[in-house]
Amino acid sequence: MINIPKGTKDVLPEDSYKWRFVEDTAREISRLFCLKEIRTPVFEHTELFNRGVGDTSDVVTKEMYTFLDKGGRSVTLKPEGTAGAARSFIENGMASGVLPVKMYYIIPAFRYERPQAGRLREFHQFGVEIFGAKGADTDAETILLADTFLKKLGLKTKLQINSIGCPACRAAYNKALKEYFAPRLNDLCEDCRTRYEKNPLRLLDCKEERCREINAGAPSILEYLCEDCKAHFTDVCARLTAAGVPYTINPRIVRGLDYYTRTVFEFIADGIGAQGTVCAGGRYDGLIRTLGGGDVPAVGFAAGIERLLIVMEQSGVEIPRNEAVTAYFAGMDDICREKAFELTALLRRNGIASECDHMQRSVKAQFKYADKTGAKFVAVIGGSELEKGAVSVKNMATGETEEVPFEKVAEYFAGK
């Protein structure tokens, strides 16, 4: 017996409608906001993530699924979607096409993490990227898209936003952070001591209880923003207010990935503890240049589908299940079964979901099966029905029966 790898999950046939609901909603909201889907490979050259995610990030230093392929190249299963989308944007010369380029994706992502509720090694993201627009209105539109999506899923979340400035204001802030943390270094976790050396901003992103307590007293980035970054942030806030999207400003939000500049945000749901962030994103004006493209501003987010589903379940969201079988054709014997098979095929050609027996069951057992699977109607074919050229249809909800001639079957079930 071979078991599923640790940190991965099957989506079973009985549950997949929940996934489809989330994915269909993501596609529908993307259509409303006029985004197009991009599909990039599941693996990329490792170098893309080292550069695009940042080699001081947890994702790159500890979590990547990296291996050598048979040609000796280092490749990595994508741990997130932005780097691949950005690579494709550059490689396909999209910067010289019509801007902004607005795209979305629904992807599996891979991170070697310690599995917990809402934290897996293979997980799935709905991601959005807008390339080429630098204004605060685009940040607000991206956040509005995420907000619309989450509301459409029936979720209540809290939006927290922050600005982490540009490289210019961040330099001064990093200095202030180092001054604050220097006398407290011994109380920090080992990772944070490395972060202190390599990328102090990341100290604020630590999930260890002790570090979080210490972080609470750290200086706020908002006091270090340059005039341009301040104006940008004020503008984002004003637009969110105008759009009726409530938010709180949380100067501790920094995001785990290196390419962010200015706006960062998280949508947080109660109930799964430290895994409460169901959607996170921000602006990353430095990314395209880092990857060898030009100066192209960008903003985006990713929502974790597993976390969304956990929160939806916890808050009792009713997920529509569009899997109803309209008609089940039950055949008495082999000849009747042939007719059942034929009429089932006819209904499907007419776009009506229908099935028939494949287990050589008795009519009684076929009824039981149809009932269990939620068929709305059972159409029985026995010897007398064959003679009359009509099926005897039972409405499973009301118990009423009706006779329907074979040639009228498609017409009868249309719209039912």
Residues at the contact surface with ligand ATP, assessed by CB under 6 A: 80, 111, 113, 118-120, 123, 125, 256-257, 275, 277-280, 302-304, 306-307
Using CB positions, name the residue nearest to ligand ATP: 304
End-to-end CA distance of the chain: 44
Nearer Cβ to ligand ATP, position 136 or 303?
A: 303
Nearer Cβ to ligand ATP, position 87 or 307?
A: 307
Nearer Cβ to ligand ATP, position 120 or 218?
A: 120
> Min. distance of Cβ 310 from ligand ATP in angstroms?
9
Strands 248-249 and 158-163 come out as parallel
Cα distances (Å, whole numbers) of residue 359 to 60, 164, 363, 366, 391: 51, 62, 11, 9, 21
Q: What is the DSSP string of 301-316?
A: EEEEHHHHHHHHHHTT
> Min. distance of Cβ 57 from ligand ATP in angstroms?
9
**Sign of torsion over alpha carbons 399, 401, 406, 409:** negative
> Min. distance of Cβ 266 from ligand ATP in angstroms?
7
Taking the CB of residue 364, how many other CB atoms lie within 10 A of it? 9
> Min. distance of Cβ 124 from ligand ATP in angstroms?
8
CA 168 to the chain's CA centroid: 33
Token pair recorded at residue 100: 């902004």
Nearer Cβ to ligand ATP, position 113 or 208?
A: 113
DSSP code of 317?
P
Q: Is the peptide bond before 219 cis (omega within 30 degrees of 0)?
A: no
Helix crossing, 136-152 with 227-242: angle to 10°?
40
> Min. distance of Cβ 178 from ligand ATP in angstroms?
23
Nearer Cβ to ligand ATP, position 125 or 354?
A: 125
Nearer Cβ to ligand ATP, position 7 or 154?
A: 7
> Min. distance of Cβ 292 from ligand ATP in angstroms?
22
